[in-house]
Amino acid sequence: MNDTELITLLRSGDRGAYTEIYRRYKGILLIHAYKKLGDFEEAKDIVQETFSFLWKDRDEIPDTKNLAGFLYTVVRNKILNYIEHKKVESKYASSFIQFIADENHLTDFLIREKELVALIDKEINALPEKMKEVFVLSRKGNLSHKEIADKLNISVFTVKNHIKSALKTLRPKFELLIMVSILLNLY
C-alpha cells in the first residue's frame, strides 16, 4: 500500500494501517531523532510520542502524499519542544542553584556577624566596670555625656575620660577583629 492508502485506512481507525506505518517509519524516525538529540532514550521517547500522536489525532492528519515528510515534521517539532523544555529546566535549575548559593552566603554572613558581635561584646565586658558601664550607656544606650553623668552621678568630664579610655583600649582590638572578619569573608 502507498502512503495515501495507509492514511485513509488510518483515519478510519484501521489498526493494521497504523502497524504498517509504525513498521515502515519507526527506524528512520528513530535515527533522525537520535542524530538531532544525541540521546538514544530521548530519541525513542520522541518517536513514541509521534506515533501516539498519530493514532490519537488520526482524524486530524492532513491529506498528503508524503507521509514520511509529515512524520519528519512532527518529530522535528517534538524535538524543538523538547529542546525548549530542556532550556527552561536548565534556567530554573541555574536559578535554584544561585538561590541556594546566595542563601548559603547570607547564612554564612549572619553567622560571622553574630560571632563578631560576640567578640566585640567580650572585649567590652573586659573593660573595668565603671568604664564599661559608661561606654555601654554611650554606645548602646545612645545617651549623651550629660545624660550619663546625671544617671551615674558623676561629672561630664569623668564620662568623657571613661569613653576616651574605653575607645583607646578597644580600637586596636576592634581593628584586628574587623581585619580578621574581612579576611574570612574573602575565603
Distance (Å, whole) CA 108 – CA 181? 12
Contact between residue 124 and residue 136 where contact means Cβ atoms under 8 Å apart = yes
Distance (Å, whole) CA 25 – CA 166? 87
Distance (Å, whole) CA 144 – CA 11? 92
* CATH fold for domain 99-186: Arc Repressor Mutant, subunit A (1.10.10)
Contact between residue 138 and residue 154 where contact means Cβ atoms under 8 Å apart = no
Q: Where are the domains of the chain?
A: 3-93, 99-186
* CATH fold for domain 3-93: Rna Polymerase Sigma Factor; Chain: A (1.10.1740)
pLDDT digits (tens), the chain, 187 positions:
788 888 888 888 999 999 999 999 999 999 999 999 988 999 999 999 999 999 999 888 887 788 889 999 999 999 999 888 888 877 777 776 776 666 656 666 677 778 777 877 888 888 899 998 998 898 888 889 999 999 999 999 999 998 899 888 888 777 776 666 666 655 4
| Residue of 10, 85, 81, 86 whose CA lies nearest to 51 | 10
Query: pLDDT tens digit string along 124-166?
Result: 888 899 998 998 898 888 889 999 999 999 999 999 998 899 8
